[in-house]
């Protein structure tokens, strides 16, 4: 939901950036894709903690994993297999859920071509002074994938869950629909022509993520993908109780990095890239920039993920924990 009234403070071109918005999308259905909802909620909580209000956030969850009948911890979505960090609570505002989450809906929201019946709270009301943070995560499987190797008589489970869109240059929505790299690039170009953003930061956690960047020509877009064009992405943190993977490697690394950020941070997208690359991921993160003067090296994370350095931010961690995390980052 968005109303164009954020307080973002730009590190881009002086006088061109005065509000921040976030669009966070999990495109996956089915219980075994639990991790994608968890991925999306990691970034949702990150931008909320850093001060972006819910009215400036569009959250799309293609399936209701929290209330799935197979969820033995009903009403929850956990980040890891310890079940100590719940990403789903009563404070979450989901703008589009279930069958509403389609490629067409996503494109309409981004370009502002929503139907008249769509409420103001579900519109992305950006303008030429808006910085937009876009996070997407998705799946490729048509049915339950063959993913486990286990020793039946032991508490040992070896799992590498390969996830994503399954082929280069497209991302699946709810197993019934896709958005191609060309369609995504055209969406960004429409947004540019309509003056719907100042600068846009795109983070994508899926297989072959880099392949979705190749056709982008709209200016002032910087992107980080969890995998190179020829690679699968990998899940981690298996919950034996739930029988699913709770998060993907890239988003888990991002969570560790982002939870240490404060609104005055000078960390850039390139710093996040380096941190993820050092995190022993099985895939290799990839960077993209559509403009020579706007790259990962000068794209401050807080210029997209934070409302304003002057805002009072409520942290989920103690001062000591934040200090320790900042030293690690």
Which residues does the annotation mark as catalytic? Answer: 165, 207
> What does the alpha-carbon distance between residue 120 and residue 174 come to, in Å, rounded to a whole number?
25
DSSP state of 52: -
**Beta carbons of 201 and 133 less than 8 angstroms apart:** yes
- Letter string b/e over residues 76-89, b meaning 16 or more CB atoms within 10 A of that residue's CB: bbbbbbeeebebbe
DSSP state of 99: G
Q: What are phi and psi of 318, to 5 degrees?
A: -70, 165
For residue 221, the SS3 value is strand
CA 132 to chain CA centroid, nearest Å = 12
> What does the alpha-carbon distance between residue 278 and residue 191 come to, in Å, rounded to a whole number?
34
**Beta carbons of 96 and 104 less than 8 angstroms apart:** no
Q: Which residues does 153 contact at the CB level (< 8 Å), separation at least 6?
A: none
Q: How far from 271 is each of 199, 237, 261, 263, 288, CA to CA, in Å? A: 18, 24, 12, 16, 14
Structure tokens at 249: 């490697």
């Amino acid at each position: 939901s968005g109303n164009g009234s954020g307080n973002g403070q730009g590190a881009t071109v002086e006088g061109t950036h005065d509000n921040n918005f976030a669009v966070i999308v999990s495109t996956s259905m089915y219980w075994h894709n639990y991790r994608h909802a968890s991925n999306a909620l990691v970034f949702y909580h990150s931008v909320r903690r850093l001060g972006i209000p819910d009215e400036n956030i569009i959250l799309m969850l293609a399936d209701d994993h929290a209330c799935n009948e197979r969820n033995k911890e009903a009403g929850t979505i956990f980040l890891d297999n310890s079940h100590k960090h719940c990403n789903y609570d009563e404070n979450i505002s989901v703008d589009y859920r279930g069958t509403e989450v389609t490629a067409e809906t996503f494109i309409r929201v981004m370009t502002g071509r929503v139907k008249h019946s769509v409420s103001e709270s579900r519109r992305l009301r950006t303008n030429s002074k808006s910085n937009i943070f876009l996070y997407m995560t998705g799946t490729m499987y048509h049915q339950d994938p063959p993913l486990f190797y286990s020793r039946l008589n032991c508490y040992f489970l070896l799992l590498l869950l390969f996830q994503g869109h399954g082929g280069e240059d497209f991302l699946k929505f709810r197993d019934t629909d896709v958005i191609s790299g060309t369609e995504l690039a055209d969406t960004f170009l429409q947004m540019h022509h309509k003056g719907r953003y100042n600068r846009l930061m795109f983070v994508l956690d899926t297989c072959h993520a880099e392949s979705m960047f190749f056709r982008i020509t709209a200016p002032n877009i910087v992107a980080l993908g969890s995998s190179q064009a020829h690679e699968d992405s990998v899940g981690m943190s298996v919950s034996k109780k739930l029988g699913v993977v709770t998060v993907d490697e890239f988003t888990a690394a991002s969570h560790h990095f982002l939870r240490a950020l404060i609104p005055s941070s000078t960390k850039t997208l390139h710093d996040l890239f380096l941190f993820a690359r050092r995190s022993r991921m099985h895939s290799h993160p990839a960077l993209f920039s559509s403009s020579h003067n706007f790259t990962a090296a000068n794209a401050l994370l807080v210029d997209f993920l934070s409302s304003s350095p002057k805002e009072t931010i409520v942290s989920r961690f103690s001062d000591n924990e934040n200090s320790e995390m900042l030293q690690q980052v």
